Amino acid sequence: MTGSYKRGNIPVYEDRYICIKCGKKIGKLDEGLHKKMINRGAEQWMCVDCLGEYIGVSREELLKKAEYFKKMGCTLF
């Protein structure tokens, strides 16, 4: 084998999109909040529940924040 690969055959890193604490699948919202609240350059993220626990903010509060950031046109969401 030459080690060549097909262009367009881009691997999908599905397994990155799980919470690093509980293993739950996460979405763009979880990812965005994690980046916003902890580290913008993060490449692994926590779900809303674990993030809330980690920083001591309720899930409702985090979702409200996400809504707010979205309204402000934040590109992370």
Say how far apart CA 58 and CA 48 lie, in whole Å: 9
At its nearest, how many Å lie between Zn ion and the CB of residue 20? 8
Q: Considering only residues 29, 47, 62, 66, which one is a binding residue for Zn ion as defined by CB under 5 A? A: 47
List Cβ neighbours of 33 (8 Å cut-off, separation of 6 or more). 48, 51, 62, 65, 66
Question: Among 10-18, 24-32, 33-41, 67-75, which window interacts with Zn ion (CB under 5 A)?
Answer: 24-32
For Zn ion (CB under 5 A), the number of binding residues is 6
| Binding status of residue 50 toward Zn ion by CB under 5 A | yes
Question: Collapsing DSSP states into helix, strand and coil, what is residue 31?
Answer: helix
29 touches Zn ion (CB under 5 A): no
**Contact assessment for residue 76 and residue 69, using Cβ atoms and an 8 Å cutoff:** yes
Note whether 19 binds Zn ion by CB under 5 A: yes
CA distance 29 to 10: 24
Task: Catalog residues that contact Zn ion under the rule CB under 5 A.
Answer: 19, 21-22, 24, 47, 50
